[in-house]
Amino acid sequence: MIAKPHLRIACAALVLTLGGCATGAQQQGVNSDLYGPLGDDRSSVAYGTAFPVASPEEAYRNGEAALRARDPDRALFEYLRGLRMESRPQAEPLYRIGIIHHGRGNHDLARKAYRWALEVDSQHVGAGTALGIVLLQQRDFEGAERHLTPIASRRNAPWQAHNALGVIADMRGEHGQAESHYRQALDASPNTPLVLNNLGYSRYLAGDWPGARQSLRRAVSANPHYELAWRNLGLVYAREGDHETAIEAVSRNGDRAKAYNDIGYISMLEGRFQDAMGFFEEAMRLSPAYYVTASENARNLDSLMRRNGAGARPN
Protein backbone atom coordinates (compact mmCIF):
# COMPACT_ATOMS: atom_id res chain seq x y z
CA MET A 1 0.00 0.00 0.00
CA ILE A 2 1.42 3.38 -0.93
CA ALA A 3 2.64 5.67 1.82
CA LYS A 4 0.74 8.88 2.47
CA PRO A 5 3.24 11.65 1.77
CA HIS A 6 0.95 14.50 2.73
CA LEU A 7 -1.87 14.75 5.24
CA ARG A 8 -4.67 16.58 3.61
CA ILE A 9 -6.89 17.76 6.27
CA ALA A 10 -6.62 19.75 7.96
CA CYS A 11 -8.44 18.97 10.97
CA ALA A 12 -5.97 21.55 11.95
CA ALA A 13 -7.42 23.96 9.47
CA LEU A 14 -10.58 24.29 11.40
CA VAL A 15 -13.07 26.64 9.79
CA LEU A 16 -15.81 27.58 12.21
CA THR A 17 -17.66 30.86 12.14
CA LEU A 18 -16.66 32.98 15.09
CA GLY A 19 -19.22 35.29 16.55
CA GLY A 20 -17.48 37.48 18.95
CA CYS A 21 -17.22 39.62 21.96
CA ALA A 22 -15.12 42.57 23.18
CA THR A 23 -14.68 45.52 25.75
CA GLY A 24 -15.64 45.83 29.35
CA ALA A 25 -14.80 46.15 33.03
CA GLN A 26 -15.10 43.24 35.40
CA GLN A 27 -18.50 43.09 37.06
CA GLN A 28 -18.77 40.29 39.59
CA GLY A 29 -21.99 38.29 39.72
CA VAL A 30 -23.22 35.11 41.34
CA ASN A 31 -20.78 33.05 39.25
CA SER A 32 -17.77 35.33 39.68
CA ASP A 33 -15.25 32.49 40.17
CA LEU A 34 -17.05 29.73 38.29
CA TYR A 35 -15.50 30.61 34.95
CA GLY A 36 -11.94 31.23 36.11
CA PRO A 37 -10.57 27.98 34.61
CA LEU A 38 -11.66 29.15 31.14
CA GLY A 39 -9.77 32.45 31.34
CA ASP A 40 -6.13 33.35 30.98
CA ASP A 41 -3.76 35.87 32.48
CA ARG A 42 -3.33 37.83 29.26
CA SER A 43 -6.94 38.97 28.99
CA SER A 44 -7.43 39.65 32.71
CA VAL A 45 -4.27 41.77 32.93
CA ALA A 46 -4.82 43.64 29.67
CA TYR A 47 -8.49 44.49 30.25
CA GLY A 48 -8.90 44.42 34.00
CA THR A 49 -9.54 48.16 34.05
CA ALA A 50 -12.06 48.25 31.20
CA PHE A 51 -15.21 50.32 31.47
CA PRO A 52 -18.25 48.72 33.12
CA VAL A 53 -21.07 47.25 31.06
CA ALA A 54 -24.75 47.39 31.95
CA SER A 55 -25.71 43.84 30.98
CA PRO A 56 -24.34 40.48 29.80
CA GLU A 57 -25.69 41.27 26.34
CA GLU A 58 -23.57 44.42 26.20
CA ALA A 59 -20.49 42.43 27.16
CA TYR A 60 -21.24 39.85 24.47
CA ARG A 61 -21.70 42.59 21.85
CA ASN A 62 -18.36 44.02 22.89
CA GLY A 63 -16.89 40.58 22.46
CA GLU A 64 -18.23 40.28 18.93
CA ALA A 65 -16.64 43.63 18.10
CA ALA A 66 -13.32 42.44 19.55
CA LEU A 67 -13.36 39.31 17.42
CA ARG A 68 -14.10 41.35 14.31
CA ALA A 69 -11.10 43.49 15.29
CA ARG A 70 -9.01 40.30 15.70
CA ASP A 71 -8.51 40.87 19.40
CA PRO A 72 -9.20 37.45 20.97
CA ASP A 73 -7.81 38.52 24.36
CA ARG A 74 -10.45 41.24 24.63
CA ALA A 75 -13.13 38.90 23.30
CA LEU A 76 -12.32 36.26 25.90
CA PHE A 77 -12.42 38.86 28.66
CA GLU A 78 -15.82 40.12 27.51
CA TYR A 79 -17.42 36.70 27.20
CA LEU A 80 -16.21 35.75 30.63
CA ARG A 81 -17.44 38.89 32.31
CA GLY A 82 -20.78 38.59 30.54
CA LEU A 83 -21.13 35.04 31.89
CA ARG A 84 -20.21 36.22 35.38
CA MET A 85 -23.16 38.60 35.27
CA GLU A 86 -25.58 35.79 34.43
CA SER A 87 -27.53 33.85 37.04
CA ARG A 88 -26.70 30.58 35.26
CA PRO A 89 -24.31 29.39 32.51
CA GLN A 90 -25.23 30.16 28.89
CA ALA A 91 -24.35 27.86 26.00
CA GLU A 92 -23.55 30.40 23.28
CA PRO A 93 -20.84 32.40 25.09
CA LEU A 94 -19.30 29.16 26.35
CA TYR A 95 -19.17 27.97 22.75
CA ARG A 96 -17.52 31.24 21.69
CA ILE A 97 -14.93 30.88 24.43
CA GLY A 98 -14.22 27.38 23.12
CA ILE A 99 -13.64 28.76 19.63
CA ILE A 100 -11.11 31.28 20.96
CA HIS A 101 -9.15 28.60 22.80
CA HIS A 102 -9.46 26.25 19.82
CA GLY A 103 -7.99 28.87 17.52
CA ARG A 104 -5.04 29.27 19.89
CA GLY A 105 -4.40 25.54 19.97
CA ASN A 106 -5.54 25.22 23.60
CA HIS A 107 -7.46 22.04 22.85
CA ASP A 108 -8.07 20.98 26.44
CA LEU A 109 -9.63 24.34 27.34
CA ALA A 110 -11.62 24.33 24.11
CA ARG A 111 -12.93 20.85 24.85
CA LYS A 112 -13.92 21.93 28.37
CA ALA A 113 -15.83 24.96 27.06
CA TYR A 114 -17.61 22.95 24.35
CA ARG A 115 -18.62 20.22 26.79
CA TRP A 116 -19.96 22.82 29.20
CA ALA A 117 -21.97 24.45 26.41
CA LEU A 118 -23.47 21.04 25.59
CA GLU A 119 -24.35 20.45 29.23
CA VAL A 120 -26.35 23.68 29.09
CA ASP A 121 -27.84 22.94 25.66
CA SER A 122 -27.40 19.39 24.38
CA GLN A 123 -28.74 20.44 20.95
CA HIS A 124 -26.15 23.16 20.34
CA VAL A 125 -24.96 22.21 16.86
CA GLY A 126 -21.91 24.45 16.86
CA ALA A 127 -20.57 23.16 20.17
CA GLY A 128 -21.25 19.53 19.22
CA THR A 129 -19.49 19.90 15.88
CA ALA A 130 -16.54 21.78 17.35
CA LEU A 131 -16.14 19.24 20.15
CA GLY A 132 -16.07 16.43 17.59
CA ILE A 133 -13.35 18.24 15.65
CA VAL A 134 -11.25 18.79 18.79
CA LEU A 135 -11.54 15.10 19.63
CA LEU A 136 -10.52 14.24 16.08
CA GLN A 137 -7.48 16.49 16.36
CA GLN A 138 -6.60 14.70 19.59
CA ARG A 139 -6.97 11.38 17.74
CA ASP A 140 -9.98 10.26 19.76
CA PHE A 141 -11.69 8.96 16.64
CA GLU A 142 -14.46 7.05 18.41
CA GLY A 143 -15.35 10.05 20.57
CA ALA A 144 -15.31 12.37 17.57
CA GLU A 145 -17.55 10.05 15.56
CA ARG A 146 -19.94 9.68 18.49
CA HIS A 147 -20.48 13.44 18.61
CA LEU A 148 -20.47 14.12 14.88
CA THR A 149 -22.66 11.32 13.53
CA PRO A 150 -25.98 12.50 15.03
CA ILE A 151 -25.20 16.06 13.97
CA ALA A 152 -24.43 14.98 10.40
CA SER A 153 -27.73 13.09 10.25
CA ARG A 154 -29.71 16.28 10.82
CA ARG A 155 -31.26 18.25 8.04
CA ASN A 156 -29.03 21.21 7.13
CA ALA A 157 -26.09 19.70 9.01
CA PRO A 158 -22.97 21.92 9.01
CA TRP A 159 -20.41 21.02 6.39
CA GLN A 160 -17.70 20.79 9.04
CA ALA A 161 -19.40 17.73 10.56
CA HIS A 162 -19.45 15.84 7.26
CA ASN A 163 -15.89 16.93 6.46
CA ALA A 164 -14.60 15.60 9.79
CA LEU A 165 -16.47 12.31 9.37
CA GLY A 166 -14.93 12.01 5.92
CA VAL A 167 -11.48 12.37 7.44
CA ILE A 168 -12.24 9.63 9.98
CA ALA A 169 -13.48 7.31 7.23
CA ASP A 170 -10.34 7.93 5.16
CA MET A 171 -8.15 7.11 8.14
CA ARG A 172 -9.95 3.78 8.35
CA GLY A 173 -9.47 3.13 4.65
CA GLU A 174 -13.23 3.49 4.01
CA HIS A 175 -12.79 5.80 1.04
CA GLY A 176 -16.26 5.28 -0.43
CA GLN A 177 -17.86 6.38 2.83
CA ALA A 178 -15.42 9.28 3.04
CA GLU A 179 -16.38 10.43 -0.46
CA SER A 180 -20.06 10.39 0.52
CA HIS A 181 -19.38 12.66 3.51
CA TYR A 182 -17.25 15.07 1.49
CA ARG A 183 -19.93 15.36 -1.18
CA GLN A 184 -22.55 16.09 1.48
CA ALA A 185 -20.21 18.74 2.89
CA LEU A 186 -19.97 20.28 -0.59
CA ASP A 187 -23.75 20.21 -0.92
CA ALA A 188 -23.89 22.34 2.23
CA SER A 189 -20.97 24.57 1.26
CA PRO A 190 -20.12 24.38 -2.46
CA ASN A 191 -16.56 24.99 -3.64
CA THR A 192 -15.03 24.99 -0.15
CA PRO A 193 -11.29 24.50 -0.86
CA LEU A 194 -10.64 22.46 2.29
CA VAL A 195 -13.35 19.93 1.42
CA LEU A 196 -12.36 19.79 -2.25
CA ASN A 197 -8.78 19.06 -1.20
CA ASN A 198 -9.93 16.34 1.18
CA LEU A 199 -12.15 14.77 -1.47
CA GLY A 200 -9.29 14.87 -3.98
CA TYR A 201 -6.86 13.24 -1.58
CA SER A 202 -9.47 10.63 -0.66
CA ARG A 203 -9.86 9.76 -4.35
CA TYR A 204 -6.06 9.62 -4.59
CA LEU A 205 -5.94 7.11 -1.75
CA ALA A 206 -8.65 5.09 -3.50
CA GLY A 207 -6.60 4.96 -6.72
CA ASP A 208 -9.09 7.13 -8.66
CA TRP A 209 -6.60 9.46 -10.37
CA PRO A 210 -9.13 11.25 -12.65
CA GLY A 211 -11.51 11.85 -9.74
CA ALA A 212 -8.65 13.08 -7.56
CA ARG A 213 -7.37 15.39 -10.28
CA GLN A 214 -10.80 16.89 -10.92
CA SER A 215 -11.44 17.68 -7.26
CA LEU A 216 -7.95 19.06 -6.60
CA ARG A 217 -8.15 21.28 -9.67
CA ARG A 218 -11.37 22.69 -8.27
CA ALA A 219 -9.63 23.27 -4.94
CA VAL A 220 -6.78 25.30 -6.45
CA SER A 221 -9.22 27.15 -8.69
CA ALA A 222 -11.21 28.17 -5.61
CA ASN A 223 -8.00 29.13 -3.79
CA PRO A 224 -4.94 29.54 -6.03
CA HIS A 225 -2.74 29.96 -2.94
CA TYR A 226 -3.74 26.64 -1.37
CA GLU A 227 -0.29 25.04 -1.24
CA LEU A 228 -1.40 21.69 0.18
CA ALA A 229 -3.91 21.19 -2.63
CA TRP A 230 -1.22 22.03 -5.21
CA ARG A 231 1.11 19.48 -3.61
CA ASN A 232 -1.59 16.81 -3.61
CA LEU A 233 -2.38 17.64 -7.24
CA GLY A 234 1.30 17.14 -8.02
CA LEU A 235 1.15 13.69 -6.43
CA VAL A 236 -1.74 12.80 -8.73
CA TYR A 237 0.15 13.97 -11.83
CA ALA A 238 3.15 11.93 -10.68
CA ARG A 239 1.00 8.82 -10.31
CA GLU A 240 -0.30 9.41 -13.83
CA GLY A 241 3.27 9.65 -15.14
CA ASP A 242 3.11 13.37 -16.01
CA HIS A 243 6.27 14.26 -14.13
CA GLU A 244 6.90 17.72 -15.53
CA THR A 245 3.41 18.90 -14.62
CA ALA A 246 3.82 17.25 -11.22
CA ILE A 247 7.04 19.20 -10.60
CA GLU A 248 5.34 22.47 -11.58
CA ALA A 249 2.42 21.82 -9.22
CA VAL A 250 4.52 20.73 -6.24
CA SER A 251 7.00 23.60 -6.65
CA ARG A 252 4.41 26.39 -6.63
CA ASN A 253 6.19 27.84 -3.59
CA GLY A 254 9.44 27.96 -5.55
CA ASP A 255 11.15 24.98 -3.86
CA ARG A 256 11.96 22.88 -6.92
CA ALA A 257 14.52 20.76 -5.08
CA LYS A 258 11.85 19.57 -2.65
CA ALA A 259 9.50 18.97 -5.56
CA TYR A 260 12.05 16.75 -7.34
CA ASN A 261 12.74 14.84 -4.12
CA ASP A 262 9.01 14.27 -3.45
CA ILE A 263 8.25 13.16 -7.01
CA GLY A 264 11.28 10.90 -6.86
CA TYR A 265 9.90 9.28 -3.74
CA ILE A 266 6.54 8.64 -5.43
CA SER A 267 8.33 7.17 -8.45
CA MET A 268 10.33 4.89 -6.15
CA LEU A 269 7.16 3.64 -4.45
CA GLU A 270 5.71 2.82 -7.87
CA GLY A 271 8.78 0.84 -8.91
CA ARG A 272 9.97 3.37 -11.53
CA PHE A 273 13.49 3.19 -10.15
CA GLN A 274 15.42 4.85 -12.95
CA ASP A 275 13.02 7.81 -13.01
CA ALA A 276 13.23 8.09 -9.23
CA MET A 277 17.03 8.14 -9.29
CA GLY A 278 16.99 10.95 -11.83
CA PHE A 279 14.67 13.02 -9.64
CA PHE A 280 16.80 12.50 -6.53
CA GLU A 281 19.95 13.48 -8.42
CA GLU A 282 18.25 16.63 -9.73
CA ALA A 283 17.18 17.53 -6.18
CA MET A 284 20.80 17.18 -5.03
CA ARG A 285 22.01 19.31 -7.93
CA LEU A 286 19.48 22.10 -7.30
CA SER A 287 19.92 22.59 -3.59
CA PRO A 288 22.65 21.82 -1.05
CA ALA A 289 19.89 21.99 1.58
CA TYR A 290 18.31 18.89 0.01
CA TYR A 291 21.56 17.06 -0.61
CA VAL A 292 21.38 14.99 2.58
CA THR A 293 17.71 14.05 2.19
CA ALA A 294 17.88 13.29 -1.52
CA SER A 295 21.20 11.45 -1.28
CA GLU A 296 19.80 9.26 1.49
CA ASN A 297 16.78 8.49 -0.70
CA ALA A 298 19.15 7.72 -3.57
CA ARG A 299 21.21 5.32 -1.44
CA ASN A 300 18.05 3.53 -0.30
CA LEU A 301 16.89 3.33 -3.89
CA ASP A 302 20.27 2.01 -5.03
CA SER A 303 20.01 -0.80 -2.48
CA LEU A 304 16.42 -1.51 -3.53
CA MET A 305 17.41 -1.68 -7.20
CA ARG A 306 20.20 -4.15 -6.45
CA ARG A 307 17.84 -6.39 -4.48
CA ASN A 308 15.31 -6.34 -7.31
CA GLY A 309 17.86 -6.81 -10.08
CA ALA A 310 16.77 -3.57 -11.68
CA GLY A 311 20.26 -2.29 -12.19
CA ALA A 312 22.00 0.20 -9.98
CA ARG A 313 23.55 3.60 -10.20
CA PRO A 314 27.11 3.54 -11.56
CA ASN A 315 29.80 4.10 -8.90
Domain boundaries, the chain: 257-315
| Amino acid occupying residue 27 | Q
Domain 257-315 sits in CATH at 1.25.40
Mean pLDDT of each 10-residue bin along the chain, 315 residues long: 40 32 37 76 66 94 95 94 95 97 94 97 96 94 95 95 96 96 97 96 94 97 94 90 87 79 78 76 73 63 60 43
What was the pLDDT predicted at 149? 97
* CA 75 – CA 133 distance, rounded (Å): 22
pLDDT given for residue 45 in this prediction: 61
Q: Please state, in angstroms and rounded to a whole number, the distance separating the CA atoms of residues 71 and 24.
A: 13
Predicted local confidence at residue 106, as pLDDT: 93
pLDDT at position 6 is: 43
pLDDT of amino acid 303: 67
- The model's pTM is 0.76
Task: Say what the pLDDT of residue 65 is.
Answer: 96
